[in-house]
């Protein structure tokens, strides 16, 4: 009876080859499980952080009103520090070039002072964790005046 390559019989088959194949399959399985666990963790962290964004918005409003002081200020700072340790990053600063991928324009004006679309005011900060954007920054955009009409 003729044997084909890969049917488990032939010059290179035997207990050692079977053991190597089994070990390779197990190593691949372990890598897949590890990668999948990391992906599930990232999704879980992103979901929790996204649910906490309204809390950070409330803290920003309280800071703007001068109400984040003393013990409450320490709690706010600790919360932001811990969320940063989980990978949460805020973005959106006045003076940044407007990027429609990162910014949501909620206001628009023309200005002779700018040479391209620029964020002149951040209405609400944007947040991301790792490479995933949780929400874009809401900004007011200024553009140079249009040419002669």
The reply to whether CATH 2.40.30.10 applies to domain 88-149 is no
Domain extents for the chain? 12-86, 88-149
Question: According to the model, what pLDDT value does residue 120 have?
Answer: 95
How far apart, in whole angstroms, are the C-alpha atoms of residue 46 and residue 106? 25
Report how far Cα 52 is from the mean position of its chain's Cα atoms: 14
In whole numbers, what is the pLDDT of the chain averaged over residues?
Answer: 89
Question: According to the model, what pLDDT value does residue 134 have?
Answer: 96
> Above 90 in pLDDT, residue 47?
yes
How far apart, in whole angstroms, are the C-alpha atoms of residue 114 and residue 63? 29
How far apart, in whole angstroms, are the C-alpha atoms of residue 97 and residue 115? 10
Question: According to the model, what pLDDT value does residue 1 have?
Answer: 46
Name the band, by pLDDT with cuts 50, 70 and 90, for residue 9. low
How far apart, in whole angstroms, are the C-alpha atoms of residue 127 and residue 70? 26
Question: Is 91 in contact with 103 (CB distance < 8 Å)?
Answer: no
> Above 90 in pLDDT, residue 7?
no
Phi-psi region of 111 (alpha: psi -120 to 50; beta: other; left: phi over 0): beta
What are the pLDDT digits (tens) for 105-140?
999 999 999 999 999 999 999 999 988 999 999 999
């Amino acid at each position: 009876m003729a044997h084909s390559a890969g049917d488990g019989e032939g010059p290179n088959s035997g207990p050692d080859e079977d053991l190597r194949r089994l070990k390779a399959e197990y190593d691949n399985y372990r890598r897949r499980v590890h990668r999948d666990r990391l992906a599930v963790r990232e999704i879980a962290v992103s979901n929790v952080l996204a649910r906490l964004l309204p809390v950070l918005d409330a803290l920003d409003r309280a800071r703007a009103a001068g109400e984040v002081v003393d013990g409450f200020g320490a709690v706010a700072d600790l919360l932001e520090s811990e969320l940063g340790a989980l990978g949460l990053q805020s973005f959106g600063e006045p003076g940044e070039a407007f990027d429609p991928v990162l910014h949501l324009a909620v206001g628009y004006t023309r200005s002779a002072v700018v040479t391209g679309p620029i964020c002149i005011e951040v209405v609400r900060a944007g947040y991301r964790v790792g490479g995933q954007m949780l929400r874009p920054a809401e900004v007011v955009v200024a553009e140079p005046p249009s040419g002669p009409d």
